[in-house]
Amino acid sequence: MRRSTVRNVSLAAVTATVLAVGAAAPPTGAARPGPAPAGAASTPAKEPVAVGYGGAVASVDADASAVGIEVLRAGGNAVDAAVATAAALGVTEPYSAGIGGGGYFVHYDARTRTVHTIDGRETAPRSADASLFLENGEPIPFAEGMTSGLSVGTPGTPATWDTALDAWGTKRLKELLKPAERLARDGFVVDETFREQTRSNEARFRDFPASADLFLPGGALPVVGSVMKNPDLARTYEKLGRQGTRALYRGGLAHDIVRTVRNPPVRAGATRTVRAGDLTVRDLAEYGTVWRRPTRVGYRGLDVYGMAPSSSGGTTVGEALNILEGTDLRAASQETYLHRLIEASRIAFADRGRWVGDPAYEDVPVKGLLSQRFADTRACLIKDDRVLAGPLAPGDPRDPVPCAPGGTAAPTTYEGENTTHLTVSDRWGNVVAYTLTIESTGGSGITVPGRGFLLNNELTDFSFAPANPAVHDPNLPGPGKRPRSSMSPTIVLDRHARPVLALGSPGGATIITTVLQTLTGVVDRGLALPDAIAAPRASQRNQPTTDLEPALYHTPLRTRLASLGHTFRETREIGAATGVQRLPDGRWLAAAEQTRRGGGSAMVVHPAGGR
């Protein structure tokens, strides 16, 4: 095995540049209300960076981050705060996440210095098979699959909360749902991002009366600065708090979900084709989360832990890091850095498409995909003076062949890009990275009548048909199968198994490239975490073109990369990361987006001035 010649990076080296950020950051916390209309609770200020003690929360939304901080201040731990924050996001970010969806929960236990992961991914009905999205042997139009009962999987989010709280929580679910219940009842202030996301879903929502009544008050788009209330969701949260999350998987609520999926309540006169699904009460009653062994790779002397399949996040980020291990990215020019990053991502996605699916149904060679030996046989494909032609054929981690020539590629299939990620730490040093979703912006578009939440359309993450008929596709639908995901909640530890940073992002398949670029930005390029999150992004997913944000697209750097053979497509924004970082002096730094998706919210329990 070729040994890396790049020196290891210590915790101090990784975080040294962050100290300046911490010193300069204004005191930030949950107790900084901004103006809000009468009838709404005070809206906390939205700040993308916070530094201090006692724990930290970073999410896309200030109300949700404030809920997490409220739990930490009341003595709860990181798991308690993560569940409460996720519930609040179900109110304020209902188009991204909620109890009608699923996700992946990664937890660092400070007492044992170990990382554990929970797979709370949605599952297909027991009746599903590879022809789920086929009609007369051909795939149905994606838009018709997206807005349908056919695309709804059994939700996993409530079960994830139960699993996490049973293992590590200190508070009861009823207590943790109270802030979100209050937020749903009293309302939150509509911002421009929420209004625009509603606008993008307006036609869909109008075709489902329950969605229109909730999200188009008075028949119109919500006005920026107005108060959006969801009394149905408040009652649903109260029910879950009183009866436990089993109420969603059995009984009246379960029957409401099944009735909605099997007979979607479409507006009279609507011309949209809305297919029914085949979800049953048995599918809900038999749902269970899965404990997964986290993925782990060593990188520059650090241990990077991620989510194993059914997510492809941990294996794909891990393989790309292994491919980059032999390159001194710290000393590389910006051109060489991005070239290598793009090519490593291209290769890792080529292997992902061939090998990663639900391990209950597919023989996923996780150990091989994460081996340095396999990465070395793939890394030698990268040349500094030219680009690999894409889509690239996969390698075989079971029998690695150095620089193996072409073959048959399996192009990356489409994934919805609107998910959400939250990152939490507490005063004891526990950390949570939690990515959750309902898939597309607005999920299936179908609200469960009287219950106040949207149903996911997660089953569209399956391949409707094989990506390439000549290559085995591990991501075809099956009975009870979990669709492949790109969610990449990630926790990084130092050589003493102490947390260095944790992060994640929404963005469909671009989640993987966002996490990869942010990690290498901190570890290799010496960026402070807020700067690594804010840096303009590139995303290559084994496709002919690489996506570039405008701040990279409109620069001479694009021209220099194009001279190597890269082709680019301008994309308005890629991902929306959040993260937390443990500084050498014991403070926590929380960071979120400055502008993407309207900017995020970072908060700490006690701002930098004291413990």
And the tokens for 384? 């500094």
Domain encompassing residue 212 = 11-33+43-291+414-574+585-607
Where residue 140 falls among pLDDT bands split at 50, 70, 90? very high
The mean per-residue pLDDT over the stretch 404-413 comes to: 73
> In this predicted structure, which of 62-66, 312-316, 402-406 has the lowest mean pLDDT?
402-406
User: Is the backbone of residue 443 left (phi > 0), alpha (psi -120 to 50) or beta?
Assistant: left
Given a cut of 50, is residue 538 above it in pLDDT?
Answer: yes
- 5 flagged as catalytic: no
Kindly state whether residue 315 falls inside one of the protein's structural domains: no
The mean per-residue pLDDT over the stretch 295-323 comes to: 98
Kindly state whether residue 384 falls inside one of the protein's structural domains: no
E-state strands within 123-236: 134-135, 138-139, 188-189, 227-228
Percent of the chain predicted with pLDDT > 90: 88
pLDDT at 355: 96
Given a cut of 90, is residue 2 above it in pLDDT?
Answer: no
Cβ atoms 273, 472 nearer than 8 A: no
And the tokens for 243? 């009866």
How many separate domains does the chain show?
Answer: 1
> In this predicted structure, which of 86-90, 94-98, 463-467, 605-609 has the lowest mean pLDDT?
605-609
Kindly state whether residue 178 falls inside one of the protein's structural domains: yes
Label residues 282-300 b or e (16+ Cβ within 10 Å = b). ebbeebebbebebbebbbb
| Higher-scoring residue by pLDDT: 158, 4 | 158
pLDDT at 157: 98
Kindly state whether residue 251 falls inside one of the protein's structural domains: yes
Given a cut of 70, is residue 1 above it in pLDDT?
Answer: no
Given a cut of 80, is residue 365 above it in pLDDT?
Answer: yes
Interval 6-27: pLDDT, tens: 334 443 444 444 444 443 333 3
Q: What is the CATH classification number for the domain harbouring 461?
A: 3.60.20.40
Q: CA distances (Å), 247 to each of 156, 166, 265, 284, 445, in order? A: 13, 17, 22, 10, 23
Kindly state whether residue 238 falls inside one of the protein's structural domains: yes
pLDDT at 43: 77
- In what helix (H) or strand (E) does residue 214 lie, and over which residues does it extend? helix 209-215
Catalytic entry in 419, 437, 441, 490: 419
Cβ atoms 49, 28 nearer than 8 A: yes
Distance CA 542, CA 352 (A): 10
Query: Is the torsion defined by CA of 258, 263, 264, 268 positive or negative?
Result: negative
Kindly state whether residue 347 falls inside one of the protein's structural domains: no
| Higher-scoring residue by pLDDT: 149, 389 | 149
What's the pTM?
Answer: 0.93
Where residue 404 falls among pLDDT bands split at 50, 70, 90? confident
The mean per-residue pLDDT over the stretch 151-169 comes to: 98
Cβ atoms 314, 307 nearer than 8 A: yes
> In this predicted structure, which of 43-47, 175-179, 511-515, 546-550 has the lowest mean pLDDT?
43-47
pLDDT at 611: 38
Interval 178-206: pLDDT, tens: 999 999 999 999 999 999 999 999 999 99
Where residue 525 falls among pLDDT bands split at 50, 70, 90? very high
Where residue 45 falls among pLDDT bands split at 50, 70, 90? confident
Kindly state whether residue 395 falls inside one of the protein's structural domains: no
Look at residue 538 and give its three-state secondary structure. Answer: strand
Where residue 42 falls among pLDDT bands split at 50, 70, 90? low
Kindly state whether residue 380 falls inside one of the protein's structural domains: no
Given a cut of 60, is residue 40 above it in pLDDT?
Answer: no
DSSP alpha helix (H) spans, 263-355: 281-285, 313-324, 334-355
> In this predicted structure, which of 4-8, 114-118, 124-128, 530-534 has the lowest mean pLDDT?
4-8
User: C-alpha angle 595/598/599, rounded to 5°?
Assistant: 55
Interval 544-586: pLDDT, tens: 999 999 999 999 999 999 999 999 999 999 999 999 999 999 9
pLDDT at 581: 97
pLDDT at 409: 79
Distance CA 420, CA 436 (A): 6
> In this predicted structure, which of 28-37, 56-65, 437-446, 467-476 has the lowest mean pLDDT?
28-37
Distance CA 55, CA 64 (A): 15
What mean pLDDT, rounded, does the chain reach?
Answer: 92
Distance CA 23, CA 514 (A): 27
Distance CA 578, CA 601 (A): 9
